[in-house]
Structure formats: C-alpha cells, structure tokens
Amino acid sequence: MVSSTLDIAEEILELKRAKKVILLAHHYQEAEIQAVADVIGDSLELARKAREAEGDVIAMCGVWFMAETAKILNPTRTVIVPDAGASCSLVEGCPPEPIREFRRRNPDYVLVSYINTSAEVKAESDIVCTSRNAVNIVNSIPAEKPILFLPDKNLGNYVKQQTGRENMKIWQGSCVVHNTFPARRLLDAKAAYPEAIVVAHPECPEAVLRHADFIGSTSAIIEYCGKSPAREFIVMTESGVQYSLERVNPAAKFHYVANENCNCSECPWMRLNTMEKLRDALLTLEPRVELEPALMERALRPIERMLAVK
C-alpha cells in the first residue's frame, strides 16, 4: 500500500522520537519536510544548531555540504541526509585540487570560503562564511591582506562592493538557481506589481541585485519581510522560503520570478530530498556522512573561526 503524506509525516515524527533525532531543515526544502522539522534555518543557523545538537542523530534536510558541516561541528553524532546526491552547483564548480594549487602558489593570500564548499575545500581555507555574515567576515581580515573569495562570483562581487576591498580575487562559480534569474523578468514583475518590494539573495547577479530593496540570506529575507509593513514582495530566491514567509507576514502576497535554468525557482539539488526518502533515511540511518578525522580537524578550524566572528 502507498502511504499518504500524512502517514509518512506520522512515521517521521515517531522515528524522530524513537531514534533521538534532531531534524534540521533548510528553507529550500519542500513544505512537508519543513513542517516536520525541529529547526528551519539558513545555512548559518543550521550550522549553529548542528554544533549544539544533543541526541544521537542529526537529520540534515538540506544539501550534502550542510550535512558535512554538521558532522565536522558535532562529530560524535550520526549525520544523515535523505538523498546522498543532494549536491550544489557551487560545490561541483570548485574542486579541491585547483584551490590547493592556488594556496601553494599564493601563500600570502587569505582564503575565504563560502560554506557552499566541500569539506576538502574548507580544509584548505582560512575562514568560512555564509551569505549572512560574508561582509563581516571579510571586514574581520586585516586590510593589507590579499583575499581569494570562493566559489560564488555574485556573492564575491557583492561583498567586494560592500567592503570596498580592492585586493580581493573572486572564484567564478555560480548557483544554478540564483545566477540564472534574468533581470528582464524581474523588471517585468516590477511593472506588473509596482507596489512590491524586491528582496534578493546575494547569489543573484549584479543586474538583479541593483533593483533590490533588500539583499540578504534566506533567513534575513524572511526576517525583513516579517518586519516590513509592505503587503507585496517580489522574492528573488528559492521558492521554498514561501513556507516561512506566509507565517511571518500572512497578509502579504509574494511573487517569484522563474529563472532561465529550470523556468522555476526551485533548487534541483535541494528538491532531491523527499518525505519518503527522509522516512527511509530515518529507518536505516543512511545515507550517512563519514569523513576522515584528519580532514574534519582541518575543516573545523575555518568554520570555528567564522562562528567566532560576531
């Protein structure tokens, strides 16, 4: 018999209790997954929660690098992900070997890695950042130090512009979702909804960001819309944020702009996770993140440095 979503939700809640699981969900997960989560957050909040998680198991409903980060921060817990294929175009576009080569050739550079990187790349880095704290992280580095910011070119350009940092090289990676939002579709949406406030994730290209009234991480966008008196928004990020947006500002309308990649605004990697796969992962405690202790030790330092920056 095929179980209904309601039955699966019950099974998940029961398995969570029985196996002492904390279920962490990113805002880009489907609404049903967010509804059974203990914590919903952006990548910085999920990392913080993972570090302090008690119980036996962390179920990371997000993408693989988020689960790796959870494992590195809390190595004695079992960390599972519903779909082991849930990667990220930024991770895929930034293999560790060229980063090691850059380090060898440029020992004076400070490597600032977006959290959307593999454990191997984090291990080569000096400090990690997320979209929420990237400006603060770069500002925390002495002005005379040259920086390599990786791997997101749009976030890198945004941070460079916000910090006025001249000596900053930027890796040319991009997000398949945000980088393909066309500015012309945003302008069409602005014409259709002239009262709407535009909120955007900094992974969007500059041609989009220049039309934004607010730029921030997923949770920062949700907080901003929750506090805003506005009743109409154009949201330039993954449409999974709708789950929290409609809770923080129930009277508002939220419009999404389709990108040129999938003609939607959903992350193909995040959406590999489903309720069925989550239930199965809780049953078998697989797929599970396993990392070499030496690698975890090296990757932990730049993550801890990030968490120490206010």
Which residue in the set 175, 222, 245, 252 belongs to the binding site for ligand 13P (CB under 6 A)? 175
The closest of 87, 36, 27 to 59, measured between CA atoms, is 36
- Residue number with CB closer to ligand 13P (42 or 83): 42
> Within 10 Å of residue 201's Cβ, how many Cβ atoms?
28
Q: Is 116 in the site for ligand 13P (CB under 6 A)?
A: yes
- Residue number with CB closer to ligand 13P (223 or 276): 223
Q: Is 46 in the site for ligand SF4 (CB under 6 A)?
A: no
DSSP state of 152: B
Order across the sheet with 21-26: list the strands: 39-41, 21-26, 57-61, 78-80
Select the span of 52-60, 127-135, 186-194, 283-291 touching ligand 13P (CB under 6 A).
127-135
Which residue in the set 269, 299, 300, 302 belongs to the binding site for ligand SF4 (CB under 6 A)? 269
Do residues 240 and 270 touch, judged by C-beta distance below 8 A? yes
Which does residue 30 bind out of ligand 13P, ligand SF4, none, counting CB within 5 to 8 angstroms by kind?
none
The C-alpha torsion from 255 through 260 and 264 to 266, rounded to 10°, is -100
Q: Is 306 in the site for ligand SF4 (CB under 6 A)?
A: no
State the Cα–Cα distance between residues 203 and 176, nearest whole angstrom.
10
User: Which string of x and - marks every residue 93-112 that binds ligand SF4 (by CB under 6 A)?
Assistant: --------------------
- Residue number with CB closer to ligand SF4 (87 or 140): 87
Element (H, E) at 75: none
Contact set with ligand SF4 (CB under 6 A): 63, 88-90, 116, 175-177, 203, 238, 267, 269-270
